[in-house]
Amino acid sequence: MTAPSHRSVDRRSFLGASAGALAASGAASLLAPAVAQAQTAAAPAPPTGPYKLPKLGYAYDALEPNIDAETMEIHYTKHHQAYIDKLNAAVAKYPDLAKLPAEDLVKKLDAIPEEIRTAVQNNGGGHVNHTFFWKIIGPGKGGEPQGKLAEDIIKKFGSFAAFKEALNNAAATRFGSGWAWLVKGPDGLEVISTANQDSPLTQGKTPIVGVDVWEHAYYLKYRNKRPDYVTAWWNIVDWDQASKNYDAA
């Protein structure tokens, strides 16, 4: 028998290798969509649900120089959105709760199932508090309240200046993270502070104005000078909105 020539062997080897390469290439092209899909599935999208980021109503730089644009953008799009995402995740297994306004969840915190109560307290409170906060500040605001709210502040505190001092003190002495508030409760107006994202609504009190004293609200501009931030915050308080809050309380 005549032995096969080196040329015919090389040709068969080349064809075999080429066929293998083509098969591997074809398999890779067929697998590519599945691999891409698997990679996409490995990074799930944030949970969706009934609670959404509210419209801000003004540009990120509209409150400068009192609050800088970068702080506003991060505070609104990152911190507030994170509270919303976690609140939606918390109520995902509770469709009846998911139908309720977030304010109702924090008002009736004791009725929330224990396994999600802390999540609702922290993240429902965070959503409610920040939604309130964006509305109580605005460009071209500041000054002093008018009408019934102004009258009752003076009756309660003696003067507007005394009220400011009380709120400034509540903000400055809140240990760690939290809020300082003017609220209306069963005994009328009072200044309080709450820890973390706790809402006055949980205490049966209606917020009239509130200042966020978490570091994320001011640290980029004011560093550790919380009192300077609170002083600047008075320049952007929307007293018309505060009066509406008071009238509706």
Which parts are annotated binding residues for Mn(2+)?
Answer: 75, 130, 212, 216
Amino acid at 246: Y
Torsion of CA 122, 125, 127, 129, to 10 degrees: -130
Annotated binding site: 75, 130, 212, 216
Residue 26 identity (one-letter amino acid): G
Contact call for residues 238 and 66 (beta carbons, < 8 A): no
Query: Which residues 6+ apart lie within 8 Å of 195 measured at CB?
Result: 174, 175, 176, 177, 178
Do β-strands 178-185 and 188-195 pair in parallel, antiparallel, or remain unpaired?
Answer: antiparallel
Three-state secondary structure call for residue 37: helix
> Alpha carbon of 10 to those of 3, 21, 23, 139: distances in Å?
13, 16, 20, 80
Q: Could you tell me which of 10, 13, 236 has the C-alpha nearest to residue 140? A: 236
Residue 72: closest CA among 84, 86, 58, 83: 58
Spatial contact of 61 and 72, defined as CB atoms under 8 Å apart: yes
What residues contact 167, with CB distance under 8 A and at least 6 apart?
180, 181, 182, 191, 209, 211, 230
